[in-house]
Amino acid sequence: MHGSVILLGPPGAGKGTQATRLSEVSGRVILSTGDLLRAAVANDTELGRAAKGFMDAGELVPDNLILGLIGAHLATLDPNQGILFDGFPRTIPQAEALTTLCQIEMVLCIEVIDDAIVERIVGRRMDPQTGEIYHLVHKPAPPSVTDRLIQRRDDTEETVRTRLSTYHEQTAPLVDYFSSLGLLRCVDGGQDIDQVHADLITAMTDE
Ligand code: ADP
């Protein structure tokens, strides 16, 4: 059974950025359901066609589709490979299913308040050539790449507000769920990226 670490937190908490850095230092492979779903949409697969409407509306993709996606990916990995989940699980049924698929070592919760999230996400832009994430105010792109920056289809203010209420209704209950299993470790995601990374490393290595 795979050992796994889960990154939990609202949209825009910095899970993707931190997952990349944690994967580099820990050797764990990242499994991001958001990235897998966006690839499915871009490739116009059956899953992508089924998921697109939910994603554009800021709602969750149904559990059965997500669990099929996760199961298919886990099956391609060496069982000894450690995993870092980003954006999964997002509901109690997904979390319960995961306990039968992986050994959950810990859950790292990145906490950020709603107003900060809206500001972060609405200004978020990506360079499609490098995958680098910028922010119009906090991390402006170099002039040579500004013309090619793109915005995620679901990064509008209206959709962000829906994603946040979806998070509070369906995903936030996982905080208590994992806390009662003794697996939860929380860090303040309102700090700068390096400090959040440092706190995550401390949380991961604490006995
Ligand atoms: P963010 O965390 O910034 O909202 P993600 O890239 O993790 O973005 O997810 C984008 C969208 O993909 C979500 O709004 C949702 O529609 C869908 N999605 C991703 N992961 C899941 C999941 N585990 N369960 C249900 N839907 C998901």
Per-chain mean pLDDT for the chain: 94
Residue 129 has a CB neighbour count (10 Å cut-off) of: 8
- The pLDDT tens digits of the residues spanning 129-156 come to 999 999 999 899 999 999 999 999 889 9
| Entry pTM | 0.90
For 185-200, the pLDDT digits (tens) are 999 999 999 999 999 9
> How many whole angstroms from 134 Cα to the centroid of ligand 1?
20
Catalytic residue among 90, 120, 125, 185: 90
Between the CA of 204 and the centroid of ligand 1 the distance, in Å, is 24
Ligand 1: nearest atom to the Cα of 90 = 23
Residue 124 among the catalytic residues: yes
Atom of ligand 1 nearest to the CA of 89: 23
User: If you average pLDDT over residues 17-31, what whole number do you get?
Assistant: 95
DSSP letters, 124-187, are EEE-TTT--EEETTTBPPPHHHHTT-B--TT-SHHHHHHHHHHIIIIITHHHHHHHHTT-EEEE
Residues 121, 139: Cα–Cα separation, whole Å:
12
Q: How far is the CA of 169 from the centre of ligand 1 (A)?
A: 14
pLDDT at 138: 87
Q: List beta partners, residue 4.
A: 83, 104
Contacts (Cβ under 8 Å, ≥6 apart) of 151: 124, 125, 126
pLDDT for 25 = 94
Q: Which residues pair with 188 in a beta bridge?
A: 111
Active site residue 120: no
Is 49 catalytic? The answer is: no
Four-residue CA torsion sign, 128, 70, 108, 22 = negative
Average of pLDDT values for 9-32? 94
